[in-house]
A and B are shown apart, each in its own frame.
Chain A
Amino acid sequence: MDFAFLADTMGQLLAAVPTTVALWFLCISIGGVIALGAVWMRVSGIFVLERIAAGYIFAFRGSPLLIQMFLVYYGLSQFPEVRHSFVWPVLREPFYCAVISLALCTGGYTAEIFRGGLLSVPQREIEAGRAIGMSGFMLFRRIIAPIALRQALPAYSTEIVLMMKSTSLASLVTVWEVTGVAQRLISQSYRTMEVFLCAAAIYLVLNFIIIRFMGFIEYRLSPHLRRRPDIGIEGPDPRAEDLREVKP
């Protein structure tokens, strides 16, 4: 094992980590906003909006991210109107193209996850909210959104880990993030295994941090599922008594 080479490789790969993290952070933030809009359209009850959102979700979930990214980066420049418009300074940059296509892609997946969370809100909770006279917005803010978010959280953390992996495709539109640098190092040195191990370790650590962080949020948001703390009150556990009563 050549430790000098490993250290050098690791240094070069670590220098590319900020690009990867920036891509990831921008795409899940923008993608989250897109997803909220798409879900709102999807459950709006207005036929045209529903079909548009369903079409968007179908197209972006059903095709590979790579072809979407090439469509944004190479495809849009086919039209002279785009090249001469005010958006060209943005669409000319590979980094922003990667962010746009990653955000559009994760928006489709996240929209379905949010919709699943929304559908899991029990009808009786909504009825109870209405019964005590909550308005539409207050009902959403106090009842629907908290339950839906909590329900969607596990699937959402899977999705953002998938997006961390997907940022590697940005290297194919000439953004120098970790995988792109790794590929360059491999083709320069032909020491595939060493470079792969370093890059894999970086991604595993990043994903581990995301999973741990999301696990922490999940823990904080579900105090009702945790065991009650022992506060040292004497006497039998009331729950145990309940069980005794049920016994025939």
Chain B
Amino acid sequence: MSTFELIGFGPKGWGGLLLAGTLLTLLVTLAAMLIGAAVGALVAAAKLSPSRTSRIAGDAYTTVFRGVPELLIIYLIYFGGGSAVGAIATYFGSQSYVGVPAFLTGAVAVGLISASYQAEVFRGSFLAVAPGEIEAARAIGMSRFMRFRRIIVPQVLRFALPGLGNVMQLSLKDSALISVTGLAELMRSSQVAAGSTRLYFTFYIAGCALYLVLTTLSDRSFAFAEKRVGRSFRGGIGR
């Protein structure tokens, strides 16, 4: 059987499995980016807060999640999250084993790692917003929430775009580590196909190529978005 038949979509081809894996990798990365954006914004707020306690907590979060191997964090969420959910279920009177879906643990684990990087990106972008603009908003009587919504968020998002593109690349690559929990994303699918056919090189190269497609796509999308939001600014993004 030729290589093309093997990685194609025929009855004996593994193409469908690999494509499904690619889609799942994309979905789990997007979910992780969303979780990371929410947690990252909170951590960035803590790091910028005037309260000493919140600042220390925020710094501790980014230090730990950026200083400890991703694989270790995935083990923590996978084993620790599973037993925590199990304990809660037993407490509420459940007799049977309650598992956590692999998709959820994966997205949460990669999301928490991504949050530590996104927090730094958001913090940098917030500091890039000119203080004069916030003062001006305060001067014309905008409330705290309105200032946040109309002045801070639009600018922070624009300044954060290049940094977020980098974090997206990191998260795409980190998502390969979720394969250790058994989620059938691209890495796991390549492993299954490689193991079943004993053609390891062929399928890992195919998996590699699909990852390169994903990272290139994300790179292009962010470049497009940057161009798009930079349209109304003479100097492009930043100043």
Contacts and interface: CB of A to CB of B under 8 A. Distances in A.
A192 B211 contact: no
A169 B174 CA distance: 11
A186 B215 CA distance: 33
Nearest to B203: A75
Interface in A150-208: 161, 165-169, 171-172, 179, 182-183, 186-187, 190, 192-193, 196, 199-200, 203-204, 207-208
A179 B69 CA distance: 8
Interface in A34-88: 58-59, 62-68, 70-71, 74-79
Q: Is the interface of B mostly helix, strand, loop or mixed?
A: helix
Contact of B67 (A66, A77, A204): A204
Interface range, A side: 35 or more
B110 to A, nearest CB: 12
B120 to A, nearest CB: 11
Contact of B79 (A58, A71, A186): A186
A192 B64 contact: no
Interface string B27-44: 000000000000000000
Interface residues of B, number: 39
Interface stretch (B49-57, B131-139, B187-195): B187-195
A192 B109 CA distance: 15
Given A165-B70, A203-B72, 18 more contacts: A63-B173, A63-B215, A65-B176, A67-B190, A71-B208, A75-B194, A75-B205, A78-B201, A79-B201, A171-B71, A172-B180, A179-B71, A192-B76, A192-B80, A204-B63, A204-B64, A204-B67, A208-B67
